[in-house]
Each structure stands twice: as structure tokens, then as C-alpha cells.
Amino acid sequence: MYEYLPPLAALLLTVLSALSCLRFLFSRQGLYWIIPLIVSVLLCLDNLAGLFTPGSSLIPLPFGNRIFPVVVAFFWYMMVITFHYALKRSIRRNRLRSDMKKNHAEALYLEKIERRDYFRFSRRRRESAVNGAFKPEIRDFKDIDLTSLD
């Protein structure tokens, strides 16, 4: 039972590093994460093979050194995390692009508000034109008594 613990721990760490690389692949610095993702997947496959047959591995190891894959997986995971923070500090965000996106979103929002206000105004104006209209009465001059005007 204990011979399965080091390969299982190494597999867990390499799966975490592969998932981290996969997550960072869809960030702004995605192209930098292709090679670490490939290395993480290869380490996962090596540790998976070591889990199925605890005595064998794709990387030849001396006998009795079962903790080495765990140490390699741990340091690889730490390298992935360090690489992430190093890329985060060195590659700045594109301020012009982000400001353009922000300004565009703000313009769309203001346009939506102005369109809503215009529709309210035009609806009120139309309602007042429809409801405020009256039919003028045409008075016939026959009904007016012209003798009383004198």
C-alpha cells in the first residue's frame, strides 16, 4: 500500500501543474504556457505509469529512490507558479486596448440610456398629440342672429 503513496502524490502535483498551465493558457500570456503544459502532461503520464507499476517509470531511477518523482513534481509545480507570477509582473496589460474597450462599453451604455429617454419623450409627445387633438366645430353663420349685433 505504501508503495503507491509517492506516485499518487507526484501524480496529484503534476495534475495540479497541468491544470494551472491549462488555465494560464487562456490568459493574456497564453503563448508562453504551451511548453510548460506539454512538460506537465509528460510528467503526468510518467507518474501515471509509475502509479500502475510502482517499480517502473519512464525516467530510469535507482532502486529505493521512490521519493524522487514527488520532489520533481513539487519543484515543477513551484516553477509553474513562479513562472506565472514572473509573467504577471513583466508583461503589462495593454492600457490602450483596455481603455478602448472600457470607453466603448461606456458609449454603448450611454447610448442605451439616451435611446430609452428619447423613446419615452417621443411616446409622451405622440400620446399628447393623439389625446390632445380636438375636432374644431364649424359654426354655421345661419344660426347666428345678425339683427342682435346692431
Per-residue pLDDT reduced to its tens digit, 87-142: 888 767 778 888 899 999 999 999 999 999 999 999 988 888 777 766 666 666 66
First vs last C-alpha separation in the chain: 128
Least confident interval from 6-20, 35-49, 122-136? 122-136
Is the predicted pLDDT of residue 61 greater than 60, yes or no?
no
CB atoms within 10 A of CB 22: 14
Instruction: Round to whole Å and give the CA distance between 33 and 81.
Output: 12
Identify the CA nearest to 67 among candidates 80, 52, 82, 57: 57
Could you give the maximum distance between any two Cα atoms of the chain, in Å? 136
Can you give the pLDDT at residue 101? 92
Is the predicted pLDDT of residue 46 greater than 90, yes or no?
no
Mean pLDDT of 45-66: 67
Can you give the pLDDT at residue 59? 58
pTM for this predicted structure? 0.56
Does residue 54 contact residue 7 with C-beta atoms inside 8 Å?
Answer: yes
CB within 8 Å of 68: residues ≥ 6 apart: 61
CA 55 to chain CA centroid, nearest Å: 43
Does residue 54 contact residue 3 with C-beta atoms inside 8 Å?
Answer: yes
Can you give the pLDDT at residue 38? 93
